[in-house]
Amino acid sequence: DTGVSQDPRHKITKRGQNVTFRCDPISEHNRLYWYRQTLGQGPEFLTYFQNEAQLEKSRLLSDRFSAERPKGSFSTLEIQRTEQGDSAMYLCASSLVRGINTEAFFGQGTRLTVV
């Protein structure tokens, strides 16, 4: 257990529905990241927060995706009008940024299946 919690662990939804995932990072960590991992591929960067500010978003993050970290603690990732191509593992990671010697700790992920 890395200390990063994700909820739910699994989600099955019908195409067109909205889904929301939650990530609770390690408590003192100021940076939080979202990644997406499809079968047979490495994780792909989606977005990251420094405290409550969303500093970078990948082009993979379409308009149907939105992420928040309202108080600089937990984060949510919402997907609106889900599509079958959204089926993937969504990973959250957190780190405490001090200089360059940092380590990102990953949660176990939320596996989304869109049917």
Partner 1 sequence: AQSVTQLDSHVSVSEGTPVLLRCNYSSSYSPSLFWYVQHPNKGLQLLLKYTSAATLVKGINGFEAEFKKSETSFHLTKPSAHMSDAAEYFCVVSRGNNNDMRFGAGTRLTVKP
| In the complex, least distance from residue 59 CB atom to partner 1, rounded to whole angstroms | 12
Q: Which residues bind partner 1 (CB under 8 A)?
A: 2, 4, 31, 33, 35, 40-45, 48, 56, 58, 91, 93, 95, 97, 99-109
Nearer to partner 1, 75 or 82 (CB): 75
Q: Select from 102, 110, 79, 78 the least CA-distant residue to 26.
A: 102
In angstroms, what is the minimal distance from the CB of 15 to partner 1? Answer: 26
- Judged by beta carbon, residue 80 or residue 96, the one nearer partner 1 is 96
Residue nearer to partner 1 on the CB measure, 84 or 101: 101
Q: Which residues pair with 49 in a beta bridge?
A: 32, 54
Q: How far is Cα 37 from Cα 39, in angstroms, rounded to an integer? A: 7
Residue 81, sorted as left (phi over 0), alpha (psi -120 to 50) or beta, turns out to be left
